[in-house]
Amino acid sequence: MHAAALTTVPAMSASRPPGRRARLIGVAPLARDEAAAADDAEGPWDSMDDGEFLRWVQLLEERTGVVVPPERKQFLETNLRLRMREVGAGDFETYHRERLAGRRGAVEWAVLVDRLTVHQTHFFRHQPSLDFVREQVLTEFLARTQGRSAFHAWSAGCSTGEEAWSLAMVIDQHAREAATPYHFGVTASDVSQPALAMGREARYSKGKLSEIPARYRSAYCVDDGPQNFVLAERLQRRVGFAMLNLLEVARQPMSHLDLIYCQNVLIYFPRDRRLGVLDQLVDCLRPGGHLILGPGEMTGWSHPRLTRVAGQRTLAYRRRVEDSTP
Protein backbone atom coordinates (compact mmCIF):
# COMPACT_ATOMS: atom_id res chain seq x y z
CA MET A 1 0.00 0.00 0.00
CA HIS A 2 1.19 3.47 -0.86
CA ALA A 3 1.23 6.35 1.63
CA ALA A 4 -1.60 7.97 -0.29
CA ALA A 5 -3.88 5.18 0.89
CA LEU A 6 -3.29 6.19 4.49
CA THR A 7 -3.75 9.87 3.90
CA THR A 8 -7.22 9.40 2.44
CA VAL A 9 -8.46 7.90 5.70
CA PRO A 10 -11.00 10.45 6.94
CA ALA A 11 -10.52 11.71 10.48
CA MET A 12 -13.22 10.19 12.69
CA SER A 13 -14.81 13.47 13.62
CA ALA A 14 -18.39 12.26 13.73
CA SER A 15 -18.14 10.83 17.23
CA ARG A 16 -17.30 13.60 19.63
CA PRO A 17 -18.91 12.93 22.97
CA PRO A 18 -19.45 16.33 24.59
CA GLY A 19 -16.95 17.23 27.25
CA ARG A 20 -14.85 14.14 26.69
CA ARG A 21 -11.25 14.86 27.58
CA ALA A 22 -9.65 11.88 29.18
CA ARG A 23 -6.44 13.69 30.00
CA LEU A 24 -5.14 17.19 29.66
CA ILE A 25 -4.25 18.42 26.19
CA GLY A 26 -0.51 18.09 25.82
CA VAL A 27 -0.65 15.07 28.09
CA ALA A 28 3.01 15.23 29.03
CA PRO A 29 2.97 14.67 32.75
CA LEU A 30 4.50 18.01 33.60
CA ALA A 31 5.89 18.86 37.00
CA ARG A 32 2.51 19.68 38.57
CA ASP A 33 0.84 16.54 37.16
CA GLU A 34 3.72 14.44 38.32
CA ALA A 35 3.43 15.78 41.85
CA ALA A 36 -0.31 15.10 41.88
CA ALA A 37 0.24 11.63 40.47
CA ALA A 38 2.85 10.93 43.12
CA ASP A 39 0.32 11.85 45.80
CA ASP A 40 -2.22 9.51 44.20
CA ALA A 41 0.24 6.68 44.05
CA GLU A 42 1.42 7.03 47.61
CA GLY A 43 1.47 3.76 49.44
CA PRO A 44 3.42 1.64 51.87
CA TRP A 45 6.01 0.81 49.22
CA ASP A 46 9.77 0.66 49.31
CA SER A 47 11.06 2.76 46.49
CA MET A 48 11.98 0.94 43.27
CA ASP A 49 15.57 -0.25 43.42
CA ASP A 50 18.09 0.66 40.72
CA GLY A 51 18.07 -2.81 39.15
CA GLU A 52 14.29 -2.74 38.78
CA PHE A 53 14.42 0.79 37.37
CA LEU A 54 17.00 -0.27 34.78
CA ARG A 55 14.87 -3.23 33.76
CA TRP A 56 11.87 -1.00 33.02
CA VAL A 57 14.03 1.57 31.27
CA GLN A 58 15.43 -1.14 29.00
CA LEU A 59 12.00 -2.58 28.29
CA LEU A 60 10.62 0.81 27.29
CA GLU A 61 13.68 1.57 25.18
CA GLU A 62 13.41 -1.75 23.33
CA ARG A 63 9.72 -1.23 22.57
CA THR A 64 9.63 2.49 21.74
CA GLY A 65 13.17 3.84 21.58
CA VAL A 66 12.35 6.24 24.43
CA VAL A 67 14.90 6.46 27.22
CA VAL A 68 13.89 7.53 30.70
CA PRO A 69 16.91 9.22 32.30
CA PRO A 70 17.72 8.58 36.00
CA GLU A 71 16.35 11.98 37.02
CA ARG A 72 12.92 10.83 35.83
CA LYS A 73 12.91 7.68 37.92
CA GLN A 74 10.16 9.11 40.13
CA PHE A 75 8.00 9.78 37.08
CA LEU A 76 8.44 6.23 35.80
CA GLU A 77 7.84 4.63 39.16
CA THR A 78 4.78 6.75 39.96
CA ASN A 79 3.11 6.04 36.64
CA LEU A 80 3.91 2.35 36.82
CA ARG A 81 2.45 2.12 40.31
CA LEU A 82 -0.68 4.01 39.31
CA ARG A 83 -1.23 1.61 36.45
CA MET A 84 -0.50 -1.41 38.62
CA ARG A 85 -3.08 -0.20 41.09
CA GLU A 86 -5.66 0.26 38.32
CA VAL A 87 -5.21 -3.36 37.20
CA GLY A 88 -4.78 -4.77 40.72
CA ALA A 89 -1.15 -5.90 40.39
CA GLY A 90 0.68 -6.00 43.72
CA ASP A 91 4.31 -5.82 42.58
CA PHE A 92 6.38 -5.06 39.47
CA GLU A 93 7.24 -8.70 38.84
CA THR A 94 3.60 -9.86 38.92
CA TYR A 95 2.50 -6.92 36.79
CA HIS A 96 5.11 -7.74 34.18
CA ARG A 97 4.45 -11.48 34.18
CA GLU A 98 0.67 -11.39 34.26
CA ARG A 99 -0.15 -8.25 32.32
CA LEU A 100 2.62 -7.46 29.87
CA ALA A 101 3.86 -10.85 28.75
CA GLY A 102 2.20 -12.82 25.95
CA ARG A 103 -0.34 -11.85 23.32
CA ARG A 104 -2.73 -10.19 25.75
CA GLY A 105 0.16 -8.00 26.86
CA ALA A 106 0.01 -5.91 23.68
CA VAL A 107 -3.08 -4.07 24.88
CA GLU A 108 -1.55 -3.39 28.29
CA TRP A 109 1.66 -2.20 26.63
CA ALA A 110 -0.33 0.32 24.61
CA VAL A 111 -1.72 1.78 27.84
CA LEU A 112 1.62 1.79 29.60
CA VAL A 113 3.51 3.36 26.70
CA ASP A 114 0.99 6.17 26.69
CA ARG A 115 1.58 6.76 30.40
CA LEU A 116 5.36 6.66 30.17
CA THR A 117 5.96 8.85 27.13
CA VAL A 118 5.92 12.63 26.89
CA HIS A 119 3.07 14.01 24.76
CA GLN A 120 3.55 17.71 25.21
CA THR A 121 2.74 19.60 22.03
CA HIS A 122 1.31 22.87 20.64
CA PHE A 123 -0.21 24.17 17.46
CA PHE A 124 2.43 25.94 15.32
CA ARG A 125 5.10 24.78 17.74
CA HIS A 126 8.08 25.67 15.57
CA GLN A 127 7.09 28.53 13.32
CA PRO A 128 10.38 28.71 11.34
CA SER A 129 9.88 25.09 10.21
CA LEU A 130 6.34 25.81 9.09
CA ASP A 131 7.50 28.96 7.29
CA PHE A 132 10.03 26.78 5.48
CA VAL A 133 7.25 24.37 4.47
CA ARG A 134 5.21 27.22 3.01
CA GLU A 135 7.96 29.22 1.39
CA GLN A 136 10.22 26.46 0.14
CA VAL A 137 8.76 22.94 0.24
CA LEU A 138 5.34 23.77 -1.19
CA THR A 139 6.63 26.32 -3.67
CA GLU A 140 9.13 23.79 -5.04
CA PHE A 141 6.47 21.10 -5.17
CA LEU A 142 4.12 23.31 -7.14
CA ALA A 143 6.82 24.40 -9.57
CA ARG A 144 7.68 20.74 -10.20
CA THR A 145 4.17 19.33 -10.53
CA GLN A 146 2.08 22.31 -11.67
CA GLY A 147 -0.70 20.84 -9.49
CA ARG A 148 -0.81 17.60 -11.49
CA SER A 149 -0.20 15.40 -8.46
CA ALA A 150 -1.12 15.43 -4.78
CA PHE A 151 1.22 16.47 -1.95
CA HIS A 152 1.76 13.82 0.74
CA ALA A 153 3.03 14.78 4.17
CA TRP A 154 3.65 12.73 7.30
CA SER A 155 3.63 14.07 10.84
CA ALA A 156 5.67 11.35 12.60
CA GLY A 157 5.14 11.30 16.37
CA CYS A 158 2.16 13.66 16.18
CA SER A 159 1.03 13.22 19.80
CA THR A 160 -2.50 14.66 20.19
CA GLY A 161 -2.55 16.02 16.63
CA GLU A 162 -1.70 19.71 16.90
CA GLU A 163 1.37 19.33 14.67
CA ALA A 164 -0.58 17.51 11.94
CA TRP A 165 -3.41 20.06 11.99
CA SER A 166 -0.91 22.92 11.83
CA LEU A 167 0.70 21.35 8.76
CA ALA A 168 -2.72 20.81 7.19
CA MET A 169 -3.65 24.48 7.73
CA VAL A 170 -0.43 25.69 6.12
CA ILE A 171 -0.73 23.32 3.16
CA ASP A 172 -4.45 23.91 2.61
CA GLN A 173 -4.02 27.65 2.54
CA HIS A 174 -1.11 27.39 0.12
CA ALA A 175 -3.06 24.97 -2.12
CA ARG A 176 -6.09 27.26 -2.22
CA GLU A 177 -4.07 30.36 -3.03
CA ALA A 178 -1.93 28.66 -5.67
CA ALA A 179 -2.45 29.56 -9.33
CA THR A 180 -2.92 25.84 -9.91
CA PRO A 181 -4.65 24.39 -6.81
CA TYR A 182 -3.57 20.90 -5.78
CA HIS A 183 -4.73 18.07 -3.53
CA PHE A 184 -2.93 16.95 -0.42
CA GLY A 185 -3.06 14.49 2.47
CA VAL A 186 -1.40 14.42 5.88
CA THR A 187 -0.77 11.14 7.68
CA ALA A 188 -0.45 11.69 11.42
CA SER A 189 1.09 8.84 13.39
CA ASP A 190 2.09 8.07 16.95
CA VAL A 191 2.73 5.08 19.15
CA SER A 192 0.10 6.23 21.67
CA GLN A 193 -3.48 5.24 20.88
CA PRO A 194 -5.06 7.65 23.42
CA ALA A 195 -3.08 10.55 21.93
CA LEU A 196 -4.18 9.56 18.42
CA ALA A 197 -7.80 9.36 19.54
CA MET A 198 -7.61 12.95 20.74
CA GLY A 199 -6.08 14.09 17.46
CA ARG A 200 -8.74 12.27 15.48
CA GLU A 201 -11.43 13.99 17.47
CA ALA A 202 -10.13 17.30 16.06
CA ARG A 203 -11.57 19.07 19.07
CA TYR A 204 -9.49 21.24 21.38
CA SER A 205 -9.94 23.59 24.27
CA LYS A 206 -10.36 27.27 23.38
CA GLY A 207 -7.31 28.02 25.50
CA LYS A 208 -5.30 26.66 22.58
CA LEU A 209 -6.70 29.14 20.04
CA SER A 210 -3.98 31.64 20.96
CA GLU A 211 -1.35 29.22 19.61
CA ILE A 212 -2.83 29.51 16.11
CA PRO A 213 -1.99 32.56 13.96
CA ALA A 214 -5.07 34.74 13.35
CA ARG A 215 -5.40 34.06 9.62
CA TYR A 216 -5.50 30.31 10.17
CA ARG A 217 -7.73 30.62 13.22
CA SER A 218 -10.43 32.45 11.29
CA ALA A 219 -10.23 30.06 8.33
CA TYR A 220 -10.10 26.69 10.09
CA CYS A 221 -11.31 26.85 13.71
CA VAL A 222 -15.02 26.40 14.24
CA ASP A 223 -16.78 27.21 17.51
CA ASP A 224 -17.96 24.10 19.35
CA GLY A 225 -19.67 25.30 22.53
CA PRO A 226 -18.32 27.40 25.41
CA GLN A 227 -15.16 25.37 26.01
CA ASN A 228 -13.99 24.00 22.68
CA PHE A 229 -13.40 24.49 19.00
CA VAL A 230 -13.11 21.94 16.18
CA LEU A 231 -11.02 21.95 13.05
CA ALA A 232 -12.97 22.69 9.87
CA GLU A 233 -14.49 19.76 8.03
CA ARG A 234 -12.45 20.49 4.87
CA LEU A 235 -9.28 20.00 6.93
CA GLN A 236 -10.57 16.86 8.62
CA ARG A 237 -11.03 15.26 5.20
CA ARG A 238 -7.30 15.67 4.55
CA VAL A 239 -5.77 14.28 7.76
CA GLY A 240 -5.71 10.59 8.72
CA PHE A 241 -4.42 9.27 12.05
CA ALA A 242 -2.64 5.92 12.31
CA MET A 243 -0.79 4.00 15.00
CA LEU A 244 2.83 3.59 13.91
CA ASN A 245 5.89 2.74 15.95
CA LEU A 246 8.90 4.57 14.52
CA LEU A 247 11.09 1.59 15.38
CA GLU A 248 9.08 -0.37 12.80
CA VAL A 249 9.00 2.08 9.90
CA ALA A 250 10.48 -0.46 7.49
CA ARG A 251 7.38 -2.62 7.93
CA GLN A 252 4.99 0.27 7.24
CA PRO A 253 3.42 1.33 3.94
CA MET A 254 5.06 4.75 3.88
CA SER A 255 6.81 5.69 0.65
CA HIS A 256 7.23 8.46 -1.95
CA LEU A 257 6.46 11.14 0.60
CA ASP A 258 6.93 14.80 -0.25
CA LEU A 259 7.45 15.78 3.38
CA ILE A 260 8.28 14.01 6.63
CA TYR A 261 7.93 16.26 9.66
CA CYS A 262 9.37 14.72 12.83
CA GLN A 263 9.95 17.00 15.81
CA ASN A 264 10.52 16.45 19.53
CA VAL A 265 10.36 12.68 19.15
CA LEU A 266 13.86 11.40 18.43
CA ILE A 267 15.29 13.58 21.20
CA TYR A 268 14.01 10.94 23.63
CA PHE A 269 15.86 8.13 21.78
CA PRO A 270 19.51 7.14 22.24
CA ARG A 271 21.69 8.24 19.33
CA ASP A 272 22.08 4.79 17.72
CA ARG A 273 18.29 4.36 17.67
CA ARG A 274 17.89 7.83 16.14
CA LEU A 275 20.32 6.92 13.36
CA GLY A 276 18.40 3.72 12.63
CA VAL A 277 15.04 5.52 12.47
CA LEU A 278 16.45 8.32 10.32
CA ASP A 279 17.81 5.80 7.78
CA GLN A 280 14.31 4.36 7.50
CA LEU A 281 12.73 7.79 7.14
CA VAL A 282 15.05 8.63 4.25
CA ASP A 283 13.75 5.54 2.43
CA CYS A 284 10.19 6.87 2.76
CA LEU A 285 10.92 10.11 0.90
CA ARG A 286 10.55 10.51 -2.85
CA PRO A 287 13.63 11.96 -4.57
CA GLY A 288 13.39 15.72 -3.93
CA GLY A 289 11.18 15.13 -0.84
CA HIS A 290 11.95 16.97 2.41
CA LEU A 291 12.66 15.81 5.94
CA ILE A 292 12.17 18.41 8.67
CA LEU A 293 13.36 17.59 12.18
CA GLY A 294 13.13 19.61 15.38
CA PRO A 295 16.05 22.04 15.66
CA GLY A 296 17.71 20.00 18.42
CA GLU A 297 16.63 16.60 17.18
CA MET A 298 19.92 15.37 15.76
CA THR A 299 23.01 17.51 15.99
CA GLY A 300 25.91 16.95 13.60
CA TRP A 301 24.03 14.51 11.40
CA SER A 302 24.35 14.16 7.64
CA HIS A 303 23.26 11.46 5.22
CA PRO A 304 24.71 10.57 1.79
CA ARG A 305 21.28 10.64 0.18
CA LEU A 306 20.28 14.02 1.64
CA THR A 307 21.31 17.64 1.22
CA ARG A 308 20.97 20.01 4.15
CA VAL A 309 18.67 22.90 3.22
CA ALA A 310 17.10 25.92 4.98
CA GLY A 311 18.75 28.31 7.39
CA GLN A 312 20.15 27.78 10.84
CA ARG A 313 16.82 27.93 12.66
CA THR A 314 15.38 24.97 10.80
CA LEU A 315 16.82 21.46 10.62
CA ALA A 316 15.72 20.45 7.13
CA TYR A 317 17.03 18.11 4.43
CA ARG A 318 16.11 17.31 0.85
CA ARG A 319 16.54 13.87 -0.67
CA ARG A 320 18.80 14.22 -3.67
CA VAL A 321 16.78 14.41 -6.86
CA GLU A 322 19.29 12.19 -8.68
CA ASP A 323 18.91 9.51 -5.96
CA SER A 324 16.82 6.84 -7.66
CA THR A 325 17.32 4.16 -4.99
CA PRO A 326 13.86 2.63 -4.44
Residues that bind ligand SAM (CB under 6 A): 64-66, 117-121, 125, 157-159, 163, 190-192, 195, 245-247, 263-265
Rounded distance, CA 265 to CA 246, Å?
Answer: 9
For ligand SAM, the closer CB: 178 or 197? 197
- The radius of gyration of the chain from alpha carbons, rounded to an integer in Å, stands at 20
Q: Quote the least distance from Cβ 114 to ligand SAM, whole Å.
A: 7
Residue whose beta carbon is closest to ligand SAM: 121
* Minimum distance of ligand SAM from residue 2's CB (angstroms): 20
Q: How far is the CB of 216 from ligand SAM (least distance, A)?
A: 16
In angstroms, give the least distance from the CB of 113 to ligand SAM.
7
- Please identify, using beta-carbon distances, which residue of 173 and 245 lies nearer to ligand SAM: 245
228 vs 264, which CB is nearer to ligand SAM?
Answer: 264
**CB of residue 23 to ligand SAM, shortest distance in Å:** 12
Q: Minimum CB separation from ligand SAM for residue 126, in Å?
A: 7
Burial-class residue 206 by CB neighbours within 10 Å (0-12, 13-18, 19+): middle
In terms of CB distance, is 118 or 142 closer to ligand SAM? 118
| 77 class by beta-carbon count within 10 Å (0-12 exposed, 13-18 middle, 19+ buried) | buried
With contact defined as beta carbons under 8 Å apart, do 278 and 303 qualify? Answer: yes
- Rounded to whole angstroms, the Cα distance separating 316 from 10 reads 29
Nearer to ligand SAM, 127 or 146 (CB): 127
Identity of the residue, 119 or 152, whose beta carbon is nearer to ligand SAM in the bound complex: 119
Amino acid at 106: A
Q: What string of DSSP letters covers 218-253?
A: HHHEEEETTTEEEE-HHHHTTEEEEE--GGGGGGS-
With beta carbons less than 8 A apart as the criterion, state whether 117 and 63 touch: no
Distances (CA, A) of 176 to 2, 38, 143: 25, 49, 15
